[in-house]
Amino acid sequence: MSEEKDSTKAEYWTDRWKEGNTGWHRQEVNAYLIKYVDELTGGRAKVRVFVPLCGKSVDMLWLAEQGHAVIGVEVAKKAIENFFLENNLSFTVEIVKMAAESEPVDKYKCNEKDITIFCCNLFSVTEDDVGGRFDAIWDRGSLSAVAPAFNDNGKRYTKKMRSLLASDGNYMLESHYYEVDRGTRPPACISEELRNEIYGEDFIIRELEVNRLEEDPNRSLSFALDLHYHLFKPKES
């Protein structure tokens, strides 16, 4: 079964997309993104928004329809192409060289909306590859996918996010907290202690809201869990 594989490896995710085993995907725009979009953008128009490990999230389309420029990164080509297909969008593909990738990668550019998606390893992306730092980062499920409690994954991840965010930018995170032991299986459980440990050095942390979900056998994650929403602002260097 795919769940027995190492979820920190690209093959785990590409296999899940190939199998259609994508229970995290939502057909509707994230309600908390809509609610807190002004916090994310700082109330500014036409900002550059980064969506790490974006999959085929319709949040990207919604952000673009608000007038923002959206750049995503996703390792699974099937997810990217399904995003365009399912939203009736056309695209062009350019093969580009990334600063930290040995092999060229595919850069997908939407023709109708200001949406660009790079098909590559998230940790390979630098500000030079994406035209500079971002005004905003929307992280729904990206941190949860990298097993941040293991090895130095969490700190490595937050350092990468800080390197891509402008000094006056905002970073909004949706994360999970639960009491079940699931090992490295996503979505990762993010405790307050872990969040402070991996974000505290580089970011000012502000809690926005907690959505408490009771146990529900009809949900893909059937156990009780809390969805936490936080806003991070970079600390001054």
Mean pLDDT for 3-12 is: 62
Q: How many distinct structural domains can be found in the chain? A: 1
Indicate whether 4 belongs to any domain: no
Instruction: Report yes or no on 177 lying in a domain.
Output: yes
195 inside domain: yes
Domain boundaries, position 89: 10-20+30-234
pLDDT of amino acid 101: 80
As a three-state string, the secondary structure of the chain is CHHHCCCCCHHHHHHHHHHCCCCCCCCCCCHHHHHCHHHHHCCCCCCEEEEECCCCCHHHHHHHHCCCEEEEEECCHHHHHHHHHHCCCCEEEEEECCCCCCCCEEEEEECCCCEEEEECCHHHCCCCCCCCCEEEEEEECHHHHCCCCCCCHHHHHHHHHHHHEEEEEEEEEEEEECCCCCCCCCCCECCHHHHHHHHCCCEEEEEEEEEEECCCCCCCCCCCEEEEEEEEEECCC
- What is the per-residue pLDDT for 183? 81
42-90 per-position pLDDT tens digit: 999 999 999 999 999 999 999 999 999 999 999 999 999 999 999 999 9
**How many CB atoms are closer than 10 A to CB 227?**
16
Would you place residue 17 in the very low, low, confident or very high pLDDT band (cuts 50, 70, 90)? low
For residue 34, is it within any domain? yes
What's the length of the chain? 237
Range with the poorest average pLDDT among 144-153, 163-172, 194-203: 144-153
Task: Flag whether pLDDT at 8 surpasses 90.
Answer: no
Cα–Cα nearest to 105, from 89, 114, 116: 116
Q: What is the mean pLDDT of residues 201-223?
A: 93
What CA–CA distances, in Å, run from 232 to 12, 185, 193, 203? 29, 25, 16, 6
d(CA 217, CA 237): 47
25: in domain: no
- pLDDT tens profile 176-191: 999 998 887 889 999 9
Identify whether 173 is part of a domain: yes
pLDDT score for 1: 32
In a domain, 121, yes or no: yes
Q: Which of 12-26, 43-57, 137-151 is predicted with the least confidence, judged by mean pLDDT? A: 12-26
Residue 25: predicted pLDDT:
54
- CATH assignment of the domain containing 225: 3.40.50.150
pLDDT band (50, 70, 90) for residue 3: very low
